Amino acid sequence: MIRNLQHCHRIVVKIGTSSLIHHNGKVNLQTIDRLAYTLAAMNNQGFEVVLVSSGAIGVGLDKLHLPKRPAEIAAQQAIAAVGQGELLRLYIQRFSDYDTQVGQMLLTHDTFDYPVSRQHVLDTLETLLDHDIIPIINENDTVAVDEMDHRTTFGDNDQLSALVAARIDADLLVVLSDIDGLYDADPHKHAGAKKLDAITHLSQDILSAAGGTGTRFGTGGMVTKLKAAETMMLAGRQMVLCSGADPRVILKIVAGEAVGTWFGRPKTAAQ
């Protein structure tokens, strides 16, 4: 399967909490540094790059020396408020090392539901990209909860990243995860599970087979990633799901190497 990545120019990168936080709950500084290096290098090459980053609660737990995520919503929001500031500080620090400017945007689902606010967000994104500034987007965890009257929450940043990518006509969404692709069975339970190189149609069998809820620090699982892939494919765009252990893998992806699992529609010779 030939991946149609040669002409990708506008790219959204989503990184999950599991890639940003070690198993012991400490922040993975090496991953953040490699991510900043990679996106700064791409920015210098003329790519337009948007980063959708989870991790506010994970970083907040580390900052406040808390062993586990509390069940109370208010407590989670407070942790997110602390963690988001610390996460942005780390990003600013690392991107500054590579002489690259970033700008933070915290969004809720309502932002996209209402035409006026949606247009303001899209205008802001376009302006940042026009000035070679990398937008760093996260869900606004301090206000996005299911219990509110409005439909504020995305539920996970997989959905948010696909929605942003589709809205800004991104050519490619790269989802960096704790798994290196989509398998035909759960690789944690089945030793013979095989990684799928390319998906051109998300059948009901594939969607039904997906499961899992991620780690204790994250909320996403394979289902949310497949939904993100479906959003991109319906928009006529592409997605790659791969391991976030070393974000420099993104450079291989845009070079056309067969990394992770590619989701998209194959182009015909006429296209």
108 marked as part of a ligand binding site: no
Nearest to 135 by CA among 50, 55, 15: 50
256 marked as part of a ligand binding site: no
142 marked as part of a ligand binding site: no
Q: Is 175 left (phi over 0), alpha (psi -120 to 50) or beta?
A: beta
220 marked as part of a ligand binding site: yes
55 marked as part of a ligand binding site: no
Q: Give 110: exposed, middle or buried? Use CB within 10 Å, 0-12, 13-18, 19+.
A: middle
177 marked as part of a ligand binding site: yes
Cα–Cα distances in angstroms (integers) from residue 108 to residues 30, 143, 147, 155, in the given order: 29, 8, 14, 10
Q: Is residue 56 a contact partner of residue 87, using CB atoms and an 8 Å limit?
A: yes
225 marked as part of a ligand binding site: yes
222 marked as part of a ligand binding site: yes
224 marked as part of a ligand binding site: yes
223 marked as part of a ligand binding site: yes
Q: How far is CA 98 from the centre of its chain?
A: 21
11 membership: H or E segment, kind and range: strand 10-15
Structure tokens at 166: 């589709």
Residue 197 DSSP one-character state:
S
157 marked as part of a ligand binding site: yes
User: Annotated binding site: which residue ranges?
Assistant: 14, 54, 141, 157, 177-178, 219-225
User: Annotated binding site for ATP: which residue ranges?
Assistant: 14, 177-178, 219-225
User: Annotated binding site for substrate: which residue ranges?
Assistant: 54, 141, 157
